[in-house]
Structure 1
Amino acid sequence: MYKHTLCFIKRNEEILMLNREYDPVKGLWNGVGGKIEKGETSLENAIREIKEETNIKVTYDQIQFKGIIKWQDSSYSGGMYVYLVELLHEFTYHTPKKVSEGILDWKEVSWILSDYNYGVGEMIPKFLVEVLHNELILEHNFILSNHKLIDYRNKELAKQDNSIYNIIPL
């Protein structure tokens, strides 16, 4: 079981991104999310973190579990659960907005996925395209060397694997 979630909130062809003020990935644009509390499922955490970081209230039927992101470097490894929320086209949320974690702003999907964008972590363009466009629930595996991406692969999570991530509390 992993201890963190990462959530992407999509409206039309934009995603609400957080320019993080704190480690890890300080200064980079990322989704919202955070540490799963004791007794909380990853789904409950994702909904809570979205509310805390953006003040957007998301219901269980609005959020989709999209898989797991795992990484491994020579001295550390980790992982997190990834979720997607697709808001109605007419949903209004004014940005930029300063919040306790950093600055929230809507970013075009094409901007986030650009090969020449160094403002997002190098893993995000690899897995986000799958999160947005692939109906399958995937496990995204990254191999790093000295904090630099050297390999990325993904595979479908087995049905019995992907159903437990929404119900088992830590």
Structure 2
Amino acid sequence: MIRYCICFIMRGSEVLMLNRVKAPNKGLWNGVGGKLEPDETPEQSVIREVMEETGMRIVTPKYTGVVSWDVEGIEKGGMHVFITQLEPHTEYPTPLKMDEGILEWKELEWVLAEDNMGVVSNIRHFLPEMMYTGEPLEFKCYYRHEQLDEVKELGLTR
């Protein structure tokens, strides 16, 4: 069961990232998102979550697929991934402290850097493909000893 959603809000070469103040991923930069509510579609959920966490009203986020995770051989769930593109000159000043953490525009190159330990570890493995592929994709992340061990692209979502 996919119970979470995440959105990567793009503005030109920048992505709006959230430095989380709560687990999971406390202290790491991540996209904006959260749990699906009962009877909510993934798109409805991501629109609501973006509004709650940023104050932004997005209308048509692009669905780019699913990322699921396996921890020590046990399926632990997953998230629907969305990307939304803002106009390059959209004003949204950061850093901005919100209930969930600090929002800040980060250069996509910085977010995806292999040696960047301040970003959630699986993002660099799925986000580039999801950004540039026209069809929704599925990725599976395998965690061993509390570390990301492997990420597999499983192809198009079913």
Q: Percent identical across equivalent pairs?
A: 39
Amino acid in the other structure paired with 1:71? W
The answer for the alignment partner of 1:70 in structure 2 is 68
In structure 2, distance between residues paired with 1:137 and 1:66: 4
* Higher alpha-carbon deviation: 142-151 or 83-92: 142-151
The answer for the alignment partner of 1:167 in structure 2 is none
In structure 2, distance between residues paired with 1:65 and 1:154: 16
TM-score, normalised to structure 2, is 0.95
In structure 1, distance between residues paired with 2:49 and 2:120: 20
In structure 1, distance between residues paired with 2:146 and 2:129: 22
Q: Write 1 or 2 for the structure with the bigger share of helix.
A: 1
* Higher alpha-carbon deviation: 69-78 or 32-41: 69-78
> RMSD across aligned C-alpha pairs, in angstroms?
1.2
In structure 2, distance between residues paired with 1:75 and 1:66: 25
* Higher alpha-carbon deviation: 96-105 or 130-139: 130-139
Amino acid in the other structure paired with 2:43? L
Q: What's the offset of the Cα at 1:116? A: 1.3
Q: Write 1 or 2 for the structure with the bigger share of strand.
A: 2
Runs of at least 4 residues off by over 3 Å: none
In structure 1, distance between residues paired with 2:73 and 2:155: 27
The answer for the alignment partner of 1:142 in structure 2 is 141
Deviations 1:69-115 (A, max 9, x none): 01101164221100000111111100000000000000000000111
Q: SS at 2:35's partner residue? A: coil
Amino acid in the other structure paired with 1:73? V
Aligned residues: 157
The answer for the alignment partner of 2:126 in structure 1 is 127
Unmatched runs of 5 consecutive residues or more in structure 1: 162-170
TM-score, normalised to structure 1, is 0.88
In structure 1, distance between residues paired with 2:150 and 2:127: 16
